[in-house]
């Protein structure tokens, strides 16, 4: 097969409080690592999606939230968390999810504003911030609406903490994030992660690396 002559353009539509997005990103990156030997590469751009756009700043208990939103019992919620923890650790080289019954879920609009800003710096910087935010939420159980938590994640990603604080103090990139969220909703994205390749192929959900690898190989062949 002839590899694509240029990197595949991938939009990774996701939220930083979405555990399946951790699984999906791990699977996607593992697949791309395997495909590199075939000359198949990609540029990943992280796009915003808010699971809880109307959530109050104090967030909500995860067990109560899942029960209200999906009708899951506390026992079902605990089993699901355990399964997702295992999948995340497998998909992403031991990624630690410390989701317990008292964990909280948050509104993430400011996190998405920072991710947009990081994207203006560069794709590597945006990727580093994405991981730092995942770890702040899932591993460290930090409150994501807190400016200190967000700027700390920015610093952990190697970005300018003072500049991140400046972004958060005002409404920088708010319009851009809202516009991007509306765009992906208009394109039919209602759940995440959604991996959109070259603007027209969709791979949905936190898929294993093998699924991403097979799909991207086929897409690269069609693009070539």
Q: How far apart are CA 98 and CA 168, in angstroms?
A: 27
Q: Would you call 188 exposed, middle or buried from its count of C-beta atoms within 10 A (0-12, 13-18, 19+)?
A: exposed
Q: Which pLDDT score, from 0 to 100, does residue 3 have?
A: 52
Enclosing H/E stretch for 162: helix 161-169
Angle at 211 between CA 209 and CA 216, to 5 degrees: 95
Nearest partner of 206 among 92, 98, 94, judged by Cα: 92
Q: Which tens digit of pLDDT belongs to each residue from 188-208?
A: 999 999 999 999 999 999 999
User: What does each C-alpha distance from 47 to 100, 104, 181, 184, 189 come to in angstroms?
Assistant: 28, 23, 8, 8, 11
Q: Which pLDDT score, from 0 to 100, does residue 1 have?
A: 46
Cβ atoms of 209 and 91 closer than 8 Å: yes
Q: How far apart are CA 207 and CA 199, in angstroms?
A: 19
CB burial readout 94-117, b (16+ within 10 A) else e: ebebebeeebbbbbbbbbbbbbbb
Per-residue pLDDT of the chain (224 residues; tens, 9 = 90+): 445 569 999 999 999 999 999 999 999 999 999 999 999 999 999 999 999 999 999 999 999 999 998 999 999 999 999 999 999 999 998 899 998 999 999 999 999 999 999 999 999 999 999 999 999 999 999 999 999 999 999 999 999 999 999 999 999 999 999 999 999 999 999 999 999 999 999 999 999 999 999 999 999 999 98
């Amino acid at each position: 097969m002839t590899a694509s002559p240029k990197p595949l353009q991938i939009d990774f539509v996701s939220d930083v409080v979405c555990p399946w997005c951790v699984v999906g990103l791990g699977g996607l990156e593992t697949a791309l690592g395997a495909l590199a030997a075939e000359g198949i590469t990609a540029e990943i751009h992280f796009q915003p999606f808010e699971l809880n756009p109307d959530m109050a700043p104090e967030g909500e208990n995860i067990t109560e939230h899942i029960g209200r939103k999906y009708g899951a019992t506390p026992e079902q919620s605990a089993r699901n968390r355990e399964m997702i923890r295992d999948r995340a650790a497998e998909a992403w080289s031991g990624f630690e999810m410390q989701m317990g019954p008292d964990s909280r879920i948050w509104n993430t609009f400011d996190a998405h504003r920072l991710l947009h800003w990081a994207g203006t710096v560069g794709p590597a910087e945006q990727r580093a911030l994405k991981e730092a935010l995942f770890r702040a939420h899932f591993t460290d159980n930090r409150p994501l609406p807190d400016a200190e938590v967000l700027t700390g994640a920015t610093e952990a990603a190697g970005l300018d903490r003072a500049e991140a604080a400046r972004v958060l103090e005002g409404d920088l990139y708010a319009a851009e994030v809202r516009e991007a969220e509306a765009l992906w909703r208009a394109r039919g994205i209602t759940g995440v992660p959604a991996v959109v390749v070259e603007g027209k192929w969709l791979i949905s959900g936190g898929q294993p690396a093998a699924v991403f690898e097979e799909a991207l190989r086929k897409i690269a062949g069609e693009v070539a």
